[in-house]
Amino acid sequence: MIVELGHFALTLALAVAILQMVVPMIGAQRRDSALMAVAAPAALVQFVLIAIAFAALMHAFLTSDFSVALVAKNSHTAKPLIYKIAGVWGNHEGSMVLWVLILSFYGAMVALFGGNLPDALRARVLAVQAVIGVAFLGFILFTSNPFLRLDPAPIEGNGLNPILQDPALAFHPPFLYAGYVGLSMAFSFAIAALIEGRVDASWARWVRPWTLAAWIPLTVGIAMGSWWAYYTLGWGGFWFWDPVENASLMPWLVATALLHSAIVAEKRGVLKSWTILLAIFAFSLSLVGTFLVRSGVLTSVHAFAVDPSRGIAILGILVFFIGGALTLYGWRAPVLKAEGLFAPLSREGALVMNNLLLAAAAAAVFIGTLYPLFLDAMGGPKITVGAPFFNMTFVPLMIPLFCLVPIGPLLKWKRSDLVAASERLMGAGVAAIIVVVAVLAFQTRGPWLAALGMGLAAWLIAGAFFEVAWRIGLFSGNIRESFRRALRLPRASWGMAFAHGGLGIVVAGIVGTTAWRQEVVTALKVGDSAELAGYTLTLEKVGMRNGPNYQALVGVVRVTRDGRDVALMLPEKRSFPVERQEKTEAAIRTTGFADLYIVIGDENGQGAWTLRAYYNNLAPWIWVGGMIMAAGGIVSLTDRRYRIGAPNRARARLAAQPAE
């Protein structure tokens, strides 16, 4: 009964979405405020209906209602509660319901908090959102219905892929989707602006917080996915350049470019049509990501043809939105005249370089990810594009970008001189040089490039610190005045400092773990020891443990250093009987500066167990840095300038700011 209610709610949501798509758009064209007023309540109702459908599906999973085909296929009574919940989106159909839930949530947010938007713009934005909603609701109902019943219902379900039974991966999709789908807002704003044929500074200001609201969960989602890969795949790597990972990296790169170009569009009134194009691309790449992951095209172009209805439907949606948006862009963008000019050596000049490098990097990832599919479809050989390609194309684009990051914020708008900026960059430059020299002096092994990498990280971190220090006059000697200015510094400035500094921490983590990781691979009998990075690892015992829905082989490893006890680590190898799969569970002990990482393997037939241990220098910084970047985004999002109803106070405060 509840399941049917959910099905009904989802169908009704499609009807409401169609209404929301058509009526406000006509209203906006005819300047009919009664018709435009339909948009906001329709968006709210659509959200409530989809939330009901989602709750009904959740209920079916929680109560293990195996008369629902989707639950029978993807759940099991013995599964812990958290994975019953995560099971809702751990499959194609459910994940699509989550997708439209988040989509309608963003629509409802515009309906609730978009009061400061002009009526016509708001109506058009919500209508475009509804077009996306109609496409995906239709896709769900016609090709991927999660509410189909089974008769007779099986007694037990098939369980969930053990790989997905993990806390980080359980909540990875909602974050990623919040990011992917959040970019639909920037897209809808871009399309609405193209229809209106008008983009002004206020448009850019409205787009920024929505883009940021998508960028934050996308950052968190990518970091979570990478963290999961790190501790699950069993060898301590954090990024594989796998198409599924690249699918999330591409929208992130473009969204990051968009965040920066929207600043230029807001402050200087230039780069408007480029900003619109980026907004279109950011969401288009989110759709491409959904398509890549959901259509099965990645496994093989041929697998795509096995179940064509879904693949073709998503491809159709893709072509409609990307093709439609770009056509509209080609037709209307010339209307958006750029005003103002800019010099290469200026804040906007630096932001243009940021956009150029990020866009080229996104292109590199795009080409590397899709080329094998393209070649295969063309009848060429099946090839693989792996890490070596991306190391040769993506990384060289990131290095100049990272060099630029601390410089950009110190340049003035319109026209800047390098002398003034370089004085302020002195601190960061000195910090970077000290780190390079120190690494070269103390590094006993590892490539000399590592020193430059760490120098780059120091340049980013110190650059972020000195930028804030300079703005609040930290070195002027008047601490009280500096404190007062720190409190008055716009939150967006703090957010930027956190994001840029966090990036430096990520770079340090990547360089550190890549250049200086140590490993030992050995077979140990119970009682034997191995040495790694000054630690002694002794295999004390090997036993079995029963989990809620798995059996685990547990290695008990005593870790000592110079005879002193450091830790007892318990690497596991889990067998899931229902799903008939195995999964390694690494034991990780972190000091904050390095991870000791142990994995246990099979018995070798002579009473010894394979043990693989890594000492990953600075590895935790990768995810700490990622979280700091996301935190920077959140701080920035709370900036007064983005909030509603505080324009007067904000203006008064801005006037009190020292001129930039």
Is 536:560 a contact under the CB 8 Å cutoff?
yes
Task: Establish if 518 lies at the interface with another protein (CB under 8 A).
Answer: no
Of the candidate spans 66-74, 92-100, 382-390, 484-492, the one that interacts with another protein by CB under 8 A turns out to be 382-390
Does residue 430 bind another protein (CB under 8 A)?
A: no
Q: What is the largest CA-CA distance in the chain?
A: 83
CA dist., res. 206 & res. 502, Å (int): 25
**Is residue 375 near another protein by the rule CB under 8 A?**
yes
- 152 cis-preceded (ω within 30 degrees of 0): yes
62 contacts another protein (rule: CB under 8 A): no
Q: Which of 15, 82, 112, 244 binds another protein (CB under 8 A)?
A: 244
Does residue 62 come out as left (phi exceeding 0), alpha (psi in the -120 to 50 range) or beta?
A: alpha
DSSP letter at 641 equals G
Q: Interface with another protein includes 413 (CB under 8 A)? A: no
Rounded-to-integer distance, Cα 448 and Cα 460, Å: 19
**Beta pairing partners, 614:** 519, 597
Rounded to a whole number of angstroms, the minimum distance from the CB of residue 368 to another protein is 7
Closer residue to another protein (CB): 62 or 356: 356
Contact letters for another protein, residues 31-50 (x by CB under 8 A): --------------------
233 binds another protein (CB under 8 A): yes
Residue 655 CB, nearest distance to another protein (Å)? 29
**C-alpha pair distances (Å), 222 with each of 26, 219, 246, 429, 458:** 39, 5, 10, 30, 23
How distant, in Å, are the alpha carbons of 97, 310, 608, 638 from that of 213?
Answer: 20, 30, 52, 11
Interaction between residue 240 and another protein (CB under 8 A): yes
User: Contact between 384 and another protein (CB under 8 A)?
Assistant: yes
Q: CB under 8 A: which stretch of 51-59, 112-120, 133-141, 348-356 binds another protein?
A: 348-356
Binding mask 494-513 for another protein (x = CB under 8 A): --------------------
C-beta of 612: minimal distance to another protein in Å?
7
Kindly indicate which of the ranges 137-145, 167-175, 228-236, 616-624 contains the residues binding another protein, using the contact rule CB under 8 A: 228-236
In three-state secondary structure terms, 263 is: helix
Residues 140-179 that bind another protein (CB under 8 A): 162-163
Which range in 165-173, 258-266, 363-371, 405-413 contacts another protein by CB under 8 A? 363-371
Does 214 bind another protein (CB under 8 A)? Our answer is no
From residue 344, alpha-carbon distances to 204, 257, 347, 356, 408 in Å are 22, 18, 9, 13, 11
Size of the site for another protein (CB under 8 A): 59
Q: How far is the CB of 549 from another protein (least distance, A)?
A: 16
8 Å CB contact between 289 and 247: yes
Residue 357 sits at the vertex; the CA angle it makes with 356 and 361, to the nearest 5 degrees, is 120
Sign of the dihedral through C-alpha 619, 511, 388, 239: positive
In the bound state with another protein, the residue whose beta carbon lies nearer, of 188 and 354, is 354
Give the residue, chosen from 304, 394, 614, 615, that forms a contact with another protein under the rule CB under 8 A: 394
Q: Which is nearer to another protein, 134 or 164 (CB)?
A: 164
CB 535 within 8 A of CB 596: yes
Distance CA 229, CA 242 (A): 11
User: In terms of residues, how long is the chain?
Assistant: 660
Q: Which amino acid is at 371?
A: Y
Phi-psi region of 456 (alpha: psi -120 to 50; beta: other; left: phi over 0): alpha
90 belongs to the binding site for another protein (CB under 8 A): no
Do 434 and 457 touch, CB atoms closer than 8 A? no
Instruction: Provide the mask over 578-617, with x wherever binding to another protein is found by CB under 8 A and - wherever it is not.
Output: ---xxxx----------------xx-x-----x-x-----
Which residue from 389, 490, 528, 547 is in contact with another protein, where contact means CB under 8 A? 389
Binding site for another protein (CB under 8 A): 162-163, 233-235, 237, 240-244, 299-300, 302-303, 341-344, 349, 352-353, 356-357, 359-360, 363-364, 367-368, 371, 375, 380-389, 393-394, 397, 521-523, 573-574, 581-584, 601-602, 604, 610, 612
